[in-house]
Every structure is written in C-alpha cells, then in structure tokens.
Structure 1
C-alpha cells in the first residue's frame, strides 16, 4: 500500500461523521437480519417468501416510505463497507516474523471480504429502492451456471463454496469462543451478559446458514448442476427438507433475530 492510500484511510477513520455513518451500518445490518429472521420463521411456519437479504429489502420496499428507508440502509451499509476497507488498508503485523505477516494478511483479507459484503448489500438496497426486485436464489443459480460454463469453472465454484463454508465455520467458532468481544466493548453486569448471549446465538445461527450455503455450492460444483446452488433461502429450504426441518429452520430464524439485536447493540458499543 502507498503512503497516500494509508494516509487517506487514516484521515477517513479520524472523521467523526464517517465513524457515525459506519456505526449506522451496524444498525442497518441489524435491521436487515431482523427482517430476514422474521421471514425465515414465517417460512418455517408454512408461509411463502424469499428468505434472504433480497427478500428483506423487498419487504422494506413495500412499506410506507420504504424507498427512503432503503436509501438510509444503503448509505449506512456502504459506509460500513468503506470502514472495513480502511481497516484492511491499515492492517498491521503484530511483529516482524513470517507468522506476523501471515496474520496481517489474514486480517487484511478478512476486513476486505467484509468491505465487499457490506458494500454489495448497500448497492442491493439502493437497487431495490430504484425499483429492482432481485431474487437471491435465481441470482445464485445464474452466477453458478455462468461459472460452470468456463474452463475450470467447477473448481472455482467449489473454492467459492469452500470459502463461504470456512466463513460459516469462523462465525460458529466466534460464537462458541465469544471472540466477538475483541470487536465490541461489552458493558458490565447482566446487561452485558445479555448482549453476549445474543452474540453467541446469533453468530452460531448465521454460521450454520453459511456452512449450508457452502455445501450447496460444493454439491453444485461436483454435480455440475447449478440448480443445486443457493443462498440463504436455499439453506432454509435444505433445512426444511430434513426431519424436524421446520423446527431447525425456525431455530435458525430465531438466531438471525438474536444476531440482529446484537448488531443493534454493536452500533453503540463497537470498537472503532
């Protein structure tokens, strides 16, 4: 990274306005997951709906002044993405050995990945505000079909699925080990313990959903069948097909709600 890029990132992070906008991104992410969790629970109970982020944005669009809310969500999510991008640029090695450099690049990749995810969600929110009505499952199948048509596409799709699966496992581990405490100043007392419980449940539930998405992409890569691929909605449908499926899907939906509330608290207590 050039000094000019790093200086720009430091200047951005020192801005109070930028920090406030980035914190609003956590709240926006919480609202999206709250709606997502509600949709998943409804689907588990027999209702119809797209149980993914696109479905959540579409639900907002149907509400009074929903387009205005979508633009606010877009601004917050993109700002949070830019914050993570700045964190990726400013990532430092905790030492001077090879292990320290590996940790620095691991952090840089992690922050860069989160930057891409939140920026994409912000763009999706803006697109829905402008009238788009995307379908997450069709998009996942279409992207998978496109990847499988190129040379080595099955390997690429398999690696994407592996990456998402590893991301899901990391969420589960963060939930069990409560390592999210490193990113949030949890207040003391029963109130803080309640936030911790929400974080544990939420991270594990989201991790489970991501692992299933990774498995679906892996199966699509092995069978060369893009219709097997899917996003969060596909993961919910996979759970519903299992024994006690509605209970399992409902539990994941409740976990998303817990994660949503945790994100709302994170908007206040995140270390930034």
Structure 2
C-alpha cells in the first residue's frame, strides 16, 4: 500500500472511531428501536382486525399520517442512514469487541446495506411513494425469478434469512446480546436482559418465518408468497389461534423496541 493509501485508510479508521460516528450509531439504534415499537403495536392491531402493512415502511407510513409525521420520518431516515454508515464502517475497519474477524464484518456489511435501503424507503415515502415494502419485495422476487437461475438465488436468499432468524433466536435464548454492553446498573441490567431475551427471540422467529416464505416462493414459483415481514406476520395471523399468536409476537417486538432504546443508550460502539 502506498503512503497515500495508508493515510486514507488511517483517516477512515479514525473517523469510524470518532465521536460523530458514535452519535450516528446511537441515532440509528434509536430509529430502529422506535420503528420496532411501532411494528409491534401495528401487529397487535392487525391481530384485532385492523388493516395495516406491518413492516418498517408500514410503520413509517403510520407516522407520516399524523401531524409533524413528515419531520419524524425525516429524522428516522437520517437515523437509518447513520446506522448504515456505522455498520459499513465496521465492515471496513472492524467490529467493536470482535476486531477484524471476517464473520462479524460480513454481518455488519449486510446490515449496512439493509438500513441504507430503509433510509431510501423513508425518503421515498416523504416524496409521496405509496408502494408498500411488501409489494416491493414481491416485485423484486418476481424480477429475479424471471432470469435463469433466479429461483435458486431467491431460494438461497430466503435460506440465509432463515439462518439469520435462527441465529437471533439462539442469541435471545443464550443472552449473547449482552456482550454488547459493558457496565450496567444492576436493575437496568436485569430489565435489559429480560427485554432482550423476549424481543430478540420474537424478532428471530419472525425473520425465520419470513425467510421460509421466500424459500416457498422460490420453490412454488409464486413471488406473491415473498411478502417479507408483513407477509410473515399476516401468515401467522391466518393460522389456527393466529390472532393470539400474532398478539404475542407483536408484544415481543414491542419488547425488542424497548430493548433497542436501552441499546441506543448503553451499547458499546
């Protein structure tokens, strides 16, 4: 590496550890937490029969329909962009507590791309786009499956999401998410532990179901089954005892949102 290249890399590494990046990370974690709180509440309402799109964009659409909602969605977009920037900086320069290990950096890269897309979705909502996230995902799945080998790609993507969901369930049950925190007051640690256990497990179950639906879409060549988070939750609703199950999952996602607020405050970044 040339001296100029080393200087650029050094500057990038310093920026990834800066106070400004820390605030970007905390803003992003806060935005994520608030959105999951809203998704959880919407899931409970859908279980009671209210029509709504139960995913990140649906939650933001609910916000924008209220006074000052546009400003709040704009703040969420900025938060998602900050989260994406933080995760991509981790992918480039290493993850706190895990150094430059490849696995965590790949995870951070994927999370960065996802939240960059969410930032774009929030901005498109501000610009008047009414296309739901679930509809977009079905359209993407249909476009990919129209190409040779596309069904395999969609199926593999779904299997990866299932794997992420299973990993989150294991993380929730084993409480490994607590490694993101250093010193916490005893009462706060107990509350964060319980909220994280319930919330992370619920989030993992929803991810696993969403991924399974994507695999089913590829298997049956039916992109309408690839409905993402919204499709997963509404599939759950349509099962025996579905409203009860969806209410429990919604409350679990609310727990994840509350845990996320604590993470935004106390996480090591």
Structure 1 runs (4+) deviating above 4 angstroms are none
> What is the aligned partner in structure 2 of residue 86 from structure 1?
89
Within 1, Cα distance between the matches of 2:151 and 2:189? 45
| 1:67 equivalenced with 2:79 (yes/no) | no
Within 1, Cα distance between the matches of 2:45 and 2:57? 16
Of the three residues 8, 29, 43, the one matched with 2:46 is 43
Please, which moves more after superposition, 156-165 or 122-131?
A: 122-131
| 1:197 equivalenced with 2:194 (yes/no) | yes
Tell me, yes or no, if the aligned pair for 2:24 and 2:86 is still in contact at 8 Å.
no
1:4 Cα deviation after fit: 5.0
| Cα distance change on mapping 1:131 and 1:190 into 2, 3 Å | same
Equivalences for residues 1-272 of structure 1 within 5 A: 3=6, 6-91=9-94, 104-185=101-182, 187-272=184-269
Tell me the C-alpha RMSD between the 2 structures. Answer: 2.0
1:256 Cα deviation after fit: 0.8
**What SS does the aligned partner of 1:150 have?**
coil
Please, which moves more after superposition, 179-188 or 115-124?
A: 179-188
Show structure 2 runs of 5+ residues with no match: none
Please, which moves more after superposition, 233-242 or 3-12?
A: 3-12
1:186 Cα deviation after fit: 5.7
Q: Deviations over 1:32-53 (max 9, x none)?
A: 1111111000001111100111
Show structure 1 runs of 5+ residues with no match: none
1:54 Cα deviation after fit: 1.0
Tell me, yes or no, if the aligned pair for 2:53 and 2:132 is still in contact at 8 Å.
yes
Q: Deviations over 1:72-121 (max 9, x none)?
A: 111111111111111111128x99xxxx9xx8221121110111122111
